[in-house]
């Protein structure tokens, strides 16, 4: 069964460094998302991406964040200059269409630790 895959599973970085988290969505999916979960808190929406552009973003997704689909398969989240509070589990998700009730498929997550 096709799955969303994410790399790396865990990354440790120093404050101020750039980080790129990578995702390979399910191949025939058209909508892509990033969510994050700070330890002990709820899963929060960051950004959605459709038709090669951002379709929606949250207030968390400020100028330090960017997303890209550099080729036909990868979907990346870049944090330009990491802060301590960026430490979280980052989940990539995709769905086949934007239809009502359409299932969202999640990756296993990338744990980011900022020191």
Partner 1 sequence: AQRVTQPEKLLSVFKGAPVELKCNYSYSGSPELFWYVQYSRQRLQLLLRHISRESIKGFTADLNKGETSFHLKKPFAQEEDSAMYYCALSRVTSGSRLTFGEGTQLTVNP
- What residues line the site for partner 1 (CB under 8 A)? 3-4, 31, 33, 35, 41-45, 48, 50, 55-56, 58, 91, 95, 97-101, 103-109
- In the complex with partner 1, the residue whose CB is nearer, 40 or 72, is 40
CB nearer partner 1, residue 29 or residue 114: 29
Closer of 70 and 99 to partner 1 (Cβ): 99
Task: Kindly give the pairing relationship between strand 110-114 and strand 10-13.
Answer: parallel
CA angle 37, 44, 72 (to 5 degrees): 90
What's the min distance (Å) between Cβ of 5 and partner 1? 10
In angstroms, the CA 12 to CA 70 distance is 24
CB of 14 to partner 1, least distance (A): 28
Least CB distance from residue 43 to partner 1, whole Å? Answer: 4
Considering the complex, what minimum distance in angstroms separates the CB of residue 98 from partner 1?
Answer: 3
Is residue 25 within 8 Å of 75, Cβ to Cβ? yes
Q: Which residues contact 111 (CB under 8 A, 6 or more apart)?
A: 9, 10, 11, 88, 89, 90
């Amino acid at each position: 069964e096709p799955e969303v895959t994410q790399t790396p599973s865990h990354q440790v970085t120093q404050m101020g460094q750039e980080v790129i988290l990578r995702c390979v969505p399910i191949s025939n999916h058209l909508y892509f998302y990033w969510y994050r979960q700070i330890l002990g808190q709820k899963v929060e929406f960051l950004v959605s991406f459709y038709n090669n552009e951002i379709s929606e973003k949250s207030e968390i997704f400020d100028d330090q964040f960017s997303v890209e689909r550099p080729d036909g398969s990868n979907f990346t989240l870049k944090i330009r200059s990491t802060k301590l509070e960026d430490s979280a589990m980052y989940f990539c998700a995709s769905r086949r269409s934007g239809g009502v009730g359409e299932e969202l498929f999640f990756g296993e997550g990338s744990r980011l630790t900022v020191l």
